[in-house]
Structure 1
């Protein structure tokens, strides 16, 4: 700060007047290394024609984090704590879009045998439905089985999931694909609401956290996961009815 101030044409009083602070504050910035509030620092940096972080490096770390994102509706310690009815209710409310990105998630069909009927009904009402499940032959799926100490079980569950969804292949408004990506999160989206099941190395999905998000504006957490789904979807392969 001192070098920038000394090389400028501003005295302490002039700079203080422009920034709307007491001249003693400017002197403390220059001679004692004090850091002003972010808004004041930004204004001063603009007047001096300097980068605010170059003048006050401490501001790089001092931005307070929000304790809770406005998009976070609920946080569940484990997926096992979330009743299947919560997933079903969320998807039932969808009017425009349903996106599901998983490796298997056969619990949906096992706990709610009418799951395919639900999707058909939503599609009949004009909802666009995209289902992406893991390719059982993918090395990433097989690696996940080893990491979760689930062995070949996860590959079997991927095949079982495809068996469950196969009757929906070709249904109007419903697109089923398989993907080979490393799955960092399972995503269950219904319009502007979403359940995200985080994946933790060495932990089965049912033992990992789930957060319920509601989209409030662009470029938030919700859109980050929605864009992730879109990227995986572009690489996925249409499932075959055989």
Structure 2
């Protein structure tokens, strides 16, 4: 059955199968099948096409709403841990050791990594020496959001002091080619530990210390998915973060 809503929308906007296909990065025959045969594109492609056309994706392809409700697990989800404390330090170490292109860390402190694996800085230097770009963003101990997090987790000044300790741990990396260190004062909704196309997402729960909150292990499956959402959030914080200067 033809997708008459899509056909009418394209006609009103002056879109042809070829022009929409070029903009959406697909073959013109695919667009023709969307229109004439009522085919539903992949979710990522559908979202992109809907944005191009300025229409709600579910209005164009209602089947996507049903498919989303029926799918219980994202294809990007590798594992789900009930709390960060369930993960051994080797999980993070192995993730970083496999990185070839990038390592991104967004936390307030996460000093448990250095405490559990004293060679962390050496590992980071080794990856950087192999051409891996490393970016580490830790909490600004003097920021209001860090202070507030301490109150919410009933941790007092503990988080502030751990942010300062984290800075002490990472400071020796300053000046190493390929490694950047910044501090941020954002509201931290998730701690992120990324290596190339994999990321460990330590979610934050109000009133719960990070070690007691869940962790998602995601692997990038396609553009526009869960992985990219977290990767984009890292970029947003990184852009606002302050580079740490060498003494």
Q: Give the alignment's TM-score, normalised by structure 1.
A: 0.76
> Residue 121 of structure 1 is aligned with which of 122, 126, 142?
126
Q: Distance in 2 between matches of 1:80 and 1:59?
A: 40
Relative to structure 1, is the Cα distance of residues 61 and 73 closer, same or farther in structure 2, using a 3 angstrom cutoff? closer
Aligned to 2:112: 107
Corresponding position of 1:222: 227
Aligned equivalent of 2:136, options 113, 131, 134 = 131
**1:33-63 CA-partner distances (Å, limit 9, x unpaired):** xxxxxx9xx95xxxxxxx9988xxx989755
After superposition, residues 18-97 of structure 1 pair within 5 angstroms as 62-63=66-67, 64-97=69-102
Compared with structure 1, are the counterparts of its residues 211 and 53 closer, same or farther at alpha carbon in structure 2 (3 Å cutoff)? closer
Once the two structures are superposed, residues 165-191 of structure 1 have per-residue CA deviations (whole angstroms, 9 ceiling, x without a partner) of 000011100000000100000000000
Q: What SS does the corresponding residue of 2:199 show, helix, strand or coil?
A: strand
Choose 1 or 2 for highest CA Rg. Answer: 1
- 1:65 offset after TM fit, Å? 3.8
Instruction: Answer yes or no: is 1:232 the counterpart of 2:237.
Output: yes
CA distance in 2: counterparts of 1:217 and 1:227, whole angstroms: 14
Does residue 210 of structure 1 match 2:215?
yes
Change beyond 3 A, Cα 1:135–1:88: same
**Change in 2 beyond 3 A, CA 1:52/1:107:** closer
State the alpha-carbon separation in 1 of the partners of residues 65 and 120 from structure 2: 47
For the residue of structure 2 that corresponds to 1:99, the secondary structure is strand
Distance change in 2, residues 1:67/1:124 (3 Å): same
C-alpha root-mean-square deviation of aligned residues, in Å? 2.6
In 2: Cα distance, 1:196 partner to 1:82 partner: 12
| Runs of 5+ consecutive residues of structure 1 not aligned to the other structure | 1-38, 44-50
Shift of 1:240: 2.0
Q: Which residue of 1 aligns with 2:162?
A: 157
SS in 1 for 2:202: strand
**Which SS does the other structure have where 1:227 is aligned?**
helix
